[in-house]
Amino acid sequence: MKEYKCIYLSGPMTGIKDYNFPAFNNAADHLRHQGYKVLNPAENDGGDTSQSWEYYLKKDLVQIIEQCDAVAVLDGWHSSKGANLEVHVAKALGYPILNAYTMERYRETILQEAQRLVHGDRGDDYGHPYWDFRRTAKIITGILMDKLRGDVEVEPRDVPLIMNGVKMSREVNKPKRDNRADGCGYWETLDMVDRLEEADRYRRERPDYGA
């Protein structure tokens, strides 16, 4: 067993039943049974959940920085804004990121990375891809105004296709994981655009929908 001074458990809480505390507590019990010292955020303040998200994040980051030397992640961590911040800080400090169930070094797949990028900070910064790409499409249409027929406009779903072309060109020039992860992310955003447009069409065709 590799020696760690203390391991911090990181994973998703917001929007999950009972704040996902059972998963945190089970993982903490499992690791402690193996002899590890564990800091379990589900145990902070005696499990109280009445404070703000920012309050708990500050406390968690202080624990990571001052008391731990490794972070172990639970399933679904890549879709959690808080867990992403915790992992980012841990990586910046040179701490290993471990799989909480196997204690092996964690390596996310390309698809998991793409999901984290699309639904994490980028989603917060850019908004829903449809509205982001709609603005971009208007700009591209304006740039190409003299080359397009008068009744032709670039549409939101064209933008991720164009960006995937950019990523493929960059991958040909210099193969790189970032190109492939971003490419997966653009396919995900294309699907999000199509789903939003499909739901909007359904609402227009069925005025009673959602009533």
What pLDDT does 115 receive?
Answer: 80
Handedness of CA 138, 139, 140, 143 (dihedral sign): positive
The whole-angstrom separation of Cα 57 and Cα 80 is 12
The whole-angstrom separation of Cα 106 and Cα 98 is 5
| Lowest-confidence segment of 142-146, 184-188, 198-202 by average pLDDT | 198-202
Residue 208 pLDDT > 70, yes or no? no
Task: Give 15's Cβ-side CA count (13 Å radius).
Answer: 8
Assess if residue 104 is contained within a domain.
no
What the block records as the tokens of 56 is 């708990």
Assess if residue 51 is contained within a domain.
yes
pLDDT band at 126 (very low <50, low <70, confident <90, very high): confident
Long-range contacts from 193-202, C-beta under 8 angstroms, 24+ separation:
193/129, 193/130, 193/133, 193/156, 193/157, 193/160, 194/157, 196/128, 196/130, 197/130, 197/156, 197/157
| Lowest-confidence segment of 1-5, 39-43, 130-134 by average pLDDT | 1-5
**In terms of Cα–Cα distance, which of 153, 121, 123 is closest to 140?**
153
**136 and 91, same domain (yes or no):** no
Assess if residue 136 is contained within a domain.
yes
Assess if residue 211 is contained within a domain.
no
CATH number for the domain spanning 80: value is 3.40.50.450
The single residue listed with the structure tokens 């049974």 is: 33
| Cβ atoms 53, 14 nearer than 8 A | yes
What pLDDT does 209 receive?
Answer: 53
Assess if residue 135 is contained within a domain.
yes
The whole-angstrom separation of Cα 150 and Cα 152 is 6
Assess if residue 26 is contained within a domain.
yes
What pLDDT does 207 receive?
Answer: 63
Domain containing residue 43 = 7-99
Ranges of H-type helices in the chain: 21-33, 53-67, 81-92, 110-119, 121-126, 129-143, 158-173, 177-205
What pLDDT does 121 receive?
Answer: 67
| Cβ atoms 117, 185 nearer than 8 A | yes
Q: Kindly give the interhelix angle for 81-92 and 53-67, rounded to the nearest 10 degrees.
A: 20
What pLDDT does 210 receive?
Answer: 53
pLDDT tens-digit series, residues 41-98: 999 999 999 999 999 999 999 999 999 999 999 998 888 889 989 999 999 999 999 9
Residue 204 pLDDT > 80, yes or no? no
What mean pLDDT value characterizes the chain?
90
**114 and 201, same domain (yes or no):** yes
pLDDT band at 169 (very low <50, low <70, confident <90, very high): very high
Assess if residue 2 is contained within a domain.
no
127: left (phi over 0), alpha (psi -120 to 50) or beta: left
**55 and 119, same domain (yes or no):** no
The whole-angstrom separation of Cα 8 and Cα 134 is 41
The single residue listed with the structure tokens 């603005």 is: 135
Residue 1 pLDDT > 70, yes or no? no
| Lowest-confidence segment of 20-34, 92-106, 167-181, 192-206 by average pLDDT | 192-206
| Lowest-confidence segment of 3-7, 39-43, 78-82, 97-101 by average pLDDT | 78-82
The model's pTM is 0.62
**80 and 133, same domain (yes or no):** no
Assess if residue 192 is contained within a domain.
yes
| Lowest-confidence segment of 1-10, 99-108, 123-132, 202-211 by average pLDDT | 202-211
Question: Looking at residues 137-165, what average pLDDT do you find?
Answer: 93
